[in-house]
Structure 1
Amino acid sequence: METNKKMKMMSLDQLKDKHLGEVGTTERDKYEFDLKIEILGDMIKSVRKERHLTQEQLGELIGVQKSQISKLERNTRNVTIETILKVFKALKANVKFSIEMNEGEFKVA
């Protein structure tokens, strides 16, 4: 016997709204922030490889050990903006930061 169930199609944003909360809620903001942080490390690694640099070579350009570059590519959470800017400057990559003020809150996008 065949059941006649129709699956409702949902966009990624609709799924995030349903499971994480709508944009502006604490859980959704945390998710979006964590995703941006993870992407930043991936971007550093990708640009470094495009420039044909090893982690050691990039570390030498900004004055840190290879292990610091490795940590940076895996987790950019505990890194200062100054370090991130040094990395992108050494990689000759443009960086744009978006800063948004919401009712007394400070957000960096």
Structure 2
Amino acid sequence: MSIEFFGDKLKSVRKSRQLTQLELSKKLDVSKGTISAYEQSLSYPSIETLTKLCFILDTSADYLLGISDELPFKMGGLTDEQVQSILQFVSVVERANSIVERECEENQ
């Protein structure tokens, strides 16, 4: 199992909650640099920190870890069709990232 999209998903959920990296870092009691490293997939949180992230962002570890593509938080006021469009967009971006990553690995 791979958690290659963790950083992208964390950043997306954080922004959907209208939190800056600094605001999230204060709520999580870590440095802003730590949040930045998570979002760039340079490092990953401990299980304890992941649990806190999920609580603060009202999302699931399954979503952040790529086990599920279902966004467990409420997207205030959006219709089911709008939510489906967002999920489809996220899926397309994830597939594109995967293709680009594979191509980069092949060219190395």
TM-score normalised over the length of structure 1: 0.51
The percent of aligned pairs where both chains have the same amino acid is 38
2:37 to 68, 71, 86: 71
* Unpaired runs of at least 5, structure 2: 68-108
More strand by share: 1
Any stretches of 5+ residues in structure 1 without a counterpart? 1-32, 99-109
Match of 2:59 in 1: 93
Counterpart-to-counterpart distance in 2, 1:79 and 1:61: 14
State which drifts further: 83-92 or 60-69.
83-92
Q: Which aligned runs of 4 or more in structure 1 are off by greater than 2 angstroms?
A: 76-79, 94-98
Structure ranking higher on relative contact order (CA contacts 8 Å, 6+ apart): 2
CA RMSD of aligned residues (A): 2.1
| TM-score scaled by length of structure 2 | 0.51
How many residues end up aligned between the 2 structures?
64
Q: CA 1:77 to 1:67, structure 2 compared with 1: closer, same or farther past 3 Å? A: closer
- The structure having more radius of gyration, on CA atoms, is 1
User: 1-side partners of 2:59 and 2:7: how far apart?
Assistant: 14
